[in-house]
Amino acid sequence: MFELDNYWTKDVENLIRLLKSDYNGLSQAEATKRINEYGLNLLKPSSRINTLSALFNQFKSPIIILLLLSASLAFLTGDQIDGIIISIIILFSSLLGFWQERMATNAIEKLISIIHTHTTVLRDEKPVSIAIEQIVPGDIIILAAGDIIPADSRIIEVNQLFVNEATLTGETFPVEKNIDILTEKTPFSKRVNLLYMGTHVISGTGKAVVIHTGQKTEFGKISARIKSKPPVPEFERGIRHFGLVLLEIVLLITITIFGINVYLNRPVLESFLFALALAVGLTPQLLPAIIMVNLSRGAKKMADKKVIVKKLASIENFGSMNILCSDKTGTLTQGIMKIHSTKNIEGNNSNKILDYAAVYVSHRHITEYRLDMCFQITGVILYG
């Protein structure tokens, strides 16, 4: 396995040699061998773990735990009917929540499977189009406008190549790429001789040699960091708090009633069974089912509006939202700057400024607008 540190500081020829590749790319046999060694170029987690985790999470609520205790006590006291009824309610509410979340996950996976992204690489000295999952370290990729960068790569040939790296840096302006060797201390956003997985080409053409794939890419590292346990939704946190309070109340009342009966010289066994029956009776057996049915109805209505709900508890959070804030990286926007209005030196609206700006841009042959150009344009218009 190749361990290439600071590969933005290395000469292209030496880098290709270290990768045991060449400018004509890998052979198909070597690529297959490397797929077996490095695995597919994917970031997907194990679906089996997700399924088991989703099923297990349905039984973590304090209310469900309280109902499980109630069902167990009902069976122990010989009240088979109550035990069966409570067990059916637990299974119904838990499986309903699991089924709804699983259906949402399957829908998302189907949408992803529809999108088959391909890239052009050199295999057996010929350019071929392959799925990005088949990319391996050492592959020579050929890039053009509109292409998605399939893996972290080092540029070996470039022709006015501009790449949008907003997914990694948050900067919406395209970055011009070159093949220059950089210093070791060059910051991440300034490594202009590298291409990163998840970014895409705006204009120009180029070739690059793949260095890292899958989880070893910068995008993969970010993906691994955000796989930590997500914060608990406020609605779910409230239900858990209510369940814990209810559990404490039931235990307190049960112990108190049992203690009073024993103090009054009632038979211990009868006092104990009475306290257990009281605990079962105080438990709101239908509450989880009611919650799940209502949340599922909400998910169904949102699905009718083409919205997929992965976690049912998020519906209540979304419904109670008053203000939604987003950053500037294009989460809810296009990430494209547009002129809203133009004012002259007196502060009045003037369309003539647009004419001057168009003349200036045309004269300079500017194809990519940047913020620093605004100051130059303003200076020419107002004072030129």
Identify the residue whose tokens are 């695995």.
39
Which sequence spans correspond to the domains of the chain?
7-41+135-225, 47-112+230-319, 337-384
Please, which pLDDT band fits residue 195 given cuts at 50, 70 and 90? very high
- Please give the model's pTM, rounded to 2 decimal places: 0.57
Neighbours of 243 (CB within 10 A): 20
Give the tens place of pLDDT for each residue, 3-12: 567 888 888 8
Q: Could you tell me if 138 and 120 are in contact, meaning their C-beta atoms sit under 8 angstroms apart?
A: no
Give the tens place of pLDDT for each residue, 267-322: 877 777 677 667 666 667 667 777 777 777 777 787 777 777 777 777 777 777 78
Domains 7-41+135-225 and 47-112+230-319 in one fold: no
Q: Could you tell me if 70 and 105 are in contact, meaning their C-beta atoms sit under 8 angstroms apart?
A: no
Closest by alpha carbon to 97, among 295, 305, 254, 374? 295
Residue type, 248: E
Q: What percent of the chain has pLDDT over 90?
A: 12
Distance CA 208, CA 70 (A): 64
Annotate 3-38 with b (16+ C-beta within 10 A) or e (fewer).
eeeebbebebeebbeebebeeebbeeebbeebbeeb
Residues designated catalytic? 327
CATH number for the region 47-112+230-319 comes to 1.20.1110.10
Q: Could you tell me if 287 and 66 are in contact, meaning their C-beta atoms sit under 8 angstroms apart?
A: no
Give the tens place of pLDDT for each residue, 135-154: 999 999 999 988 889 999 99
Residue type, 184: E
Distance CA 75, CA 84 (A): 8
Identify the residue whose tokens are 């050199």.
122
Give the tens place of pLDDT for each residue, 71-110: 777 777 677 777 787 788 778 777 777 777 777 666 666 6
Instruction: Give the residue with greater pLDDT, 356 vs 118.
Output: 118
Could you say which of 3.30.300.130, 2.70.150.10, 1.10.3720.10, 2.40.50.140 is the CATH number of the domain covering 7-41+135-225?
2.70.150.10
Distance CA 260, CA 268 (A): 11
